[in-house]
């Protein structure tokens, strides 16, 4: 399915000409395809066929309420990493009984909220967390459902900032210590062991690291069975990559088939936590060229989006395709660095892109649905952009553009002393 396409030289998402979105909602603006989002989630769900499974969308990839709402409607579970994400899932109509809670730094209040909501499982990432959760569940007169998130020491072969399954990473518990920790968990009165979790990184473009991790996880399940610990589910995390440029990642279907080759005969329910592969190519960032600027040895196109709205290029040196919303009839192309107005040299969206550009032109930054809006900030006091969901020929504003008043609303001035008094209170030297 390709919901982003040209029709008579005009870029459309589903049935909507993106010029009309810019005219109605202004730029910069994130625009998503509901059909693409749905197809991507269903591809994971179908990939595991009849085997018991739950697709727990990783909320961190895009936590906007209408995205979560659509996924909840499809029956999705959710992987959360904070109390804030839990609140979003509940607000969007998600079922807390389908929520798994990952993250190395769960606070007391976040654990309490998750226990109160009755989530499906805590993916515990350290011994200290295990004991804290046991104590808290005891105080509340509950049993906390848990899995240990193990770190299998597998190189995901991805950018170091999004690799999480190596010994040197802060995530999970060392797989060699997992048996001992499970043994301790089994003695704690307010915990109930449900499963085992593992997530090795993001934007993986081959199956080998996933299967390597799976083998290590299966070896661990055998060791656990020998000491009488049986598991109901294996949570294999997220991480399946998408195509930004030349990558050829496995499809959810390929991934599902490879997992089932190992897991179909085993009694475990399979949980997956995909984020990027569900929402990444379901969204674009729409931006307008403000200025063209000739520097001594390059041309800049300064656009109205920036690292404040889309951090990936600045943070990971990530490459995202940038295409015109209107194809020019005479496409004489020039190499441009596409940059934003933010006062950082890291503020670029694409470098050396061959485009035919004029002031006022609209551009689409592709595959911006994941780790886009949710990583945006007010840096340089820029208000956060709008988000629009397209469904067929309809557009729905799902997040209003932030106003200046909203941006300033939580801040206040303090009662300062008059300047002369301040001088009087200075200590004498
Ligand atoms: C524990 C966990 N699960 C799932 C994900 C989602 O990864 P992705 O968006 O690559 O599928 C992440 C991302 O970092 C994660 O840390």
In a domain, 301, yes or no: yes
Domains held by the chain: number:
2
Q: Ligand 1 centroid to 201 CA: how many Å?
A: 7
Do residues 234 and 358 share a domain? no
| Among the listed residues 191, 203, 196, the one whose alpha carbon sits nearest the alpha carbon of residue 164 | 203
Top-confidence residue, 328 or 415: 415
pLDDT at residue number 244: 97
Do residues 260 and 352 share a domain? no
- The pLDDT mean for the chain works out to 95
In a domain, 60, yes or no: no
pLDDT at residue number 332: 83
State whether the beta carbon of 102 lies less than 6 angstroms from ligand 1.
Answer: yes
Average the pLDDT over each of 138-152, 161-175, 228-242, 251-265 and give the range with the smallest value.
161-175
State whether the beta carbon of 199 lies less than 6 angstroms from ligand 1.
Answer: yes
Do residues 176 and 312 share a domain? no
pLDDT at residue number 418: 86
Do residues 259 and 367 share a domain? no
Closest atom, ligand 1, to C-alpha of 61: 9
Per the DSSP assignment, residues forming a β-bridge with 201 are: 163
pLDDT tens digits for range 41-97 = 999 999 999 999 999 999 999 999 999 999 999 999 999 999 999 999 999 999 999
pLDDT tier at 162 (50, 70, 90 boundaries)?
Answer: low
Residue positions annotated with a catalytic role: 343
pLDDT at residue number 172: 87
Q: Ligand 1 centroid to 236 CA: how many Å?
A: 10
Do residues 121 and 144 share a domain? yes
pLDDT at residue number 92: 98
pLDDT tier at 164 (50, 70, 90 boundaries)?
Answer: low
pLDDT at residue number 423: 60
pLDDT tier at 155 (50, 70, 90 boundaries)?
Answer: confident
For the segment 409-423, the average pLDDT, to the nearest whole number, is: 85
pLDDT tens digits for range 103-127 = 999 999 999 999 999 999 999 999 9
Q: Ligand 1 centroid to 193 CA: how many Å?
A: 22
State whether the beta carbon of 275 lies less than 6 angstroms from ligand 1.
Answer: yes
* SS3 assignment for the chain: CCCEEEECCEEEECCEEHHHHHHHHCCCEEEEEHHHHHHHHHHHHHHCCCCCEEEEEEHHHCCCHHHHHHHHHHCCEEEECCHHHHHHHHHCCCCHHHEEECCCCCCHHHHHHHHHHCCCEEEECCHHHHHHHHHHHHHCCCCEEEEEEEECCCCCCCCHHHECCCCCCCCCEEHHHHHHHHHHHHHCCCEEEEEEECCCECCECCCHHHHHHHHHHHHHHHHHHHCCCCCCEEECCCCECCCCCCCCCCCHHHHHHHHHHHHCCCCCEEEECCCHHHHHHHEEEEEEEEEEEEECCEEEEEECCCCCCCCHHHHHCCCCCEEECECCCCCCCEEEEEECCCCCCCCEEEEEEEECCCCCCEEEECCCCCCCHHHCCCHHHCCCCEEEEEECCEEEEEECCCCHHHHHCCCCCCCCCCHHHHHHCCCCC
Do residues 347 and 363 share a domain? yes
The closest residue, in CA terms, to atom 5 on ligand 1 is 238
Q: Which domain range does residue 312 map to? A: 4-30+280-408
In a domain, 87, yes or no: no
Do residues 196 and 119 share a domain? yes
In a domain, 421, yes or no: no
Do residues 393 and 263 share a domain? no
């Amino acid at each position: 399915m390709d919901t982003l396409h040209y029709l008579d030289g005009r870029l459309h998402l589903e049935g909507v000409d993106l010029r009309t979105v810019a005219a109605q909602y202004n730029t910069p603006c994130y625009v998503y395809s509901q059909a693409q989002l749905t197809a991507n989630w269903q591809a994971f769900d179908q990939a595991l066929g009849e085997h018991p499974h739950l697709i727990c969308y990783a909320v961190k990839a895009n936590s906007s309420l209408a995205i979560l709402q659509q996924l909840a409607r499809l029956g999705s579970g959710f992987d959360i990493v904070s109390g804030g994400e839990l609140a979003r899932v509940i607000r969007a109509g998600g079922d807390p009984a389908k929520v798994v809670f990952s993250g190395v730094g769960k606070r007391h209040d976040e654990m309490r909220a998750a226990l109160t909501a009755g989530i499906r499982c805590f993916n515990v990432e350290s011994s200290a967390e295990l004991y804290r959760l046991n104590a808290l569940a005891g105080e509340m007169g509950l049993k906390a459902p848990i899995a240990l998130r193990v770190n299998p020491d597998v190189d995901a072969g991805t950018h170091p900032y999004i690799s999480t399954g190596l010994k040197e990473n802060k995530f999970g518990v060392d797989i060699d210590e997992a048996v001992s920790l499970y043994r301790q968990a089994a003695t704690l009165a307010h915990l109930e062991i449900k499963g085992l979790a593992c997530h090795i990184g993001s934007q993986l473009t081959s199956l080998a690291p996933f299967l390597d991790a799976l083998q290590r996880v299966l070896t661990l399940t055998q060791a656990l069975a020998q000491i009488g610990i049986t598991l109901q589910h294996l949570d294999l995390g997220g991480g399946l990559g998408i195509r930004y440029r030349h990558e050829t990642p496995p499809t959810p279907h390929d991934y599902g088939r490879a997992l089932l080759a190992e897991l179909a005969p085993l009694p475990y329910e399979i949980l997956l936590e995909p984020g990027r592969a569900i929402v990444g190519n379901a969204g674009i960032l729409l931006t307008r060229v403000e200025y063209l600027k000739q520097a001594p040895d390059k041309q800049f196109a300064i656009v109205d989006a920036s690292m404040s709205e889309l951090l990936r290029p600045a943070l990971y040196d990530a490459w995202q395709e940038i295409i015109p919303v209107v194809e020019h009839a005479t496409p004489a192309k020039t190499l441009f660095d596409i940059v934003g107005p933010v006062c950082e040299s890291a503020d670029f969206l694409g470098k050396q892109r061959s485009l035919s550009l004029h002031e006022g032109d609209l551009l689409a930054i592709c595959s911006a649905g994941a780790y886009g809006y949710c990583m945006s900030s007010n840096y340089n006091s820029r208000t956060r952009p709008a988000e629009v969901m397209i469904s067929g020929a309809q557009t729905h504003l799902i997040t209003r553009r932030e106003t200046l008043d909203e941006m300033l609303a939580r801040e206040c001035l303090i009662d300062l002393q008059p300047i002369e008094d301040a001088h009087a209170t200075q200590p004498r030297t």
